[in-house]
Amino acid sequence: MKGLSGPKLLVVHPSSNKSPGGAGSPGAVLGARRRVCAAVFLACFACVSLATTLLSGGAGTRGRAGASGRASAAFAGARRVGAGGVPAARRRGRVRGCRGTCSTRCGARRANLLVFGLGGETPLWRALNHGGRTVFLDENQYYVSHLEGRHPGLEAYDVAYTTTVREFPDLLDAARTARAAECRPVQNLLFSDCRLAINDLPNQLYDVSWDVILVDGPRGYTASSPGRMSAIFTAGVLARTRAGEGATTDVLVHDYEREVERACSREFLCEENRVAETSTRSLAHFVVRGGSAVRRDAFCSGAAAAAAAH
C-alpha cells in the first residue's frame, strides 16, 4: 500500500556462507603467531634498551666519580697548603702584621685590597677592609669555587701560573736582563711579554689603584709547585703603575725567610722601600711609590739593585 507512512522495520537475515577466518582457520592461526612474534620482539628490544641504559649510566657514574675524586684531591691539597699547612705561631704573626697595615690603610676609608692566596684568614681580610673592595687570587679553581659558595659576595679568581720554583734562578736572571724592556717596572701587564707578568686576570683588575697587596700565594713548598716570583713581580708593577702623584701601595710578602720570596722582594719591591718597624722574619712590609716620577728603567736605585743582585 503506497499510502503508508508509518515506521518501517528492516530485518537482516544472517548469511548461510561462513567466513573463512573462523577460530580454527589457517588465517586465524597465522595472525596469532604474528602477534606472538611481535610481542617477543618488543620484549627483547625493551631488554636491550634497558641494559644499554644501565651500562651507560654506570660508565657516566664512574666518570663523574673520577672527576669528583680529582676535584676533591685538588681541594684537599689546597686545604693542606692553606691555613692548615702553616704553623700556628707563623699564622698569628702574619695576622698581626697584616691587621696593623690593613687597619691603617683600610680602616679610614674604602680601600682596595688585593690578596694572592686563599686560606683560613680569607674572612678576616674581608672584615678588615669592610666597605672596601677585596679581591683574592688563587691557583686552585676548586678551592675558589668552594669558598665562593661558603662566603657569598666573595670576589675571587683563579690564576694559571706558568712558572715553578725550580725555574727561579733563570727567571730572575732573565728579568734582570730585560728590566728596561719587557720586564720594566712600569707597563701595561695585559700586553706584557715578561714571563713573570700575570696577564690573564680580568681586564678591570689592572685599572684598580690598589692600596694594599698581600702576597700569601701561590704555594711554593716544592720545586715543581708554582712559586711566588710572578706574584711579587706583578705586585711591584701594579704599585708603580698606579696613577696619582705621591700615591703609595703597601705590599706585604709572607714567608719572607724563604729564598724565592726574599730574593724577588729585594729585586722588584726593593730593600729601600722595606719598612723595618712593621716587618718580621716571615712577613716583610714594603711601601712602593707610584706616579709619574717613578723610574721606568729599573725597579730599585743603583745601590739597592746591586745589593739585590748579590
Check whether 42 has a pLDDT greater than 90.
Answer: no
Query: Who contacts 222 (Cβ-Cβ below 8 Å, separation ≥6)?
Result: 165
- pTM, two decimals, is 0.70
Residue at 215: amino acid letter = V
Q: Which pLDDT does position 102 carry in this prediction?
A: 63
Dihedral pair phi/psi, residue 158, rounded to 5°: -90, 145
Single out the residue of 96, 38, 138 nearest to residue 282, CA to CA: 96
Whole-number pLDDT of residue 105: 61
Residue 98: the pLDDT is 63
pLDDT of residue 279: 81
Average pLDDT value for the chain:
76
Amino acid at 224: S
Q: What angle do CA 202, 208, 214 make, to 5 degrees?
A: 90
Q: Report, as an integer, the average pLDDT of 267-292.
A: 92
Q: What is the mean pLDDT of residues 204-218?
A: 95
Q: 284 in the Ramachandran plot: left (φ > 0), alpha (ψ -120 to 50) or beta?
A: beta
H or E element at residue 156:
strand 155-158
What values do phi and psi take at 151, rounded to 5? -125, 90
Residues 6 or more apart whose Cβ sits within 8 Å of residue 93: 280, 282, 283
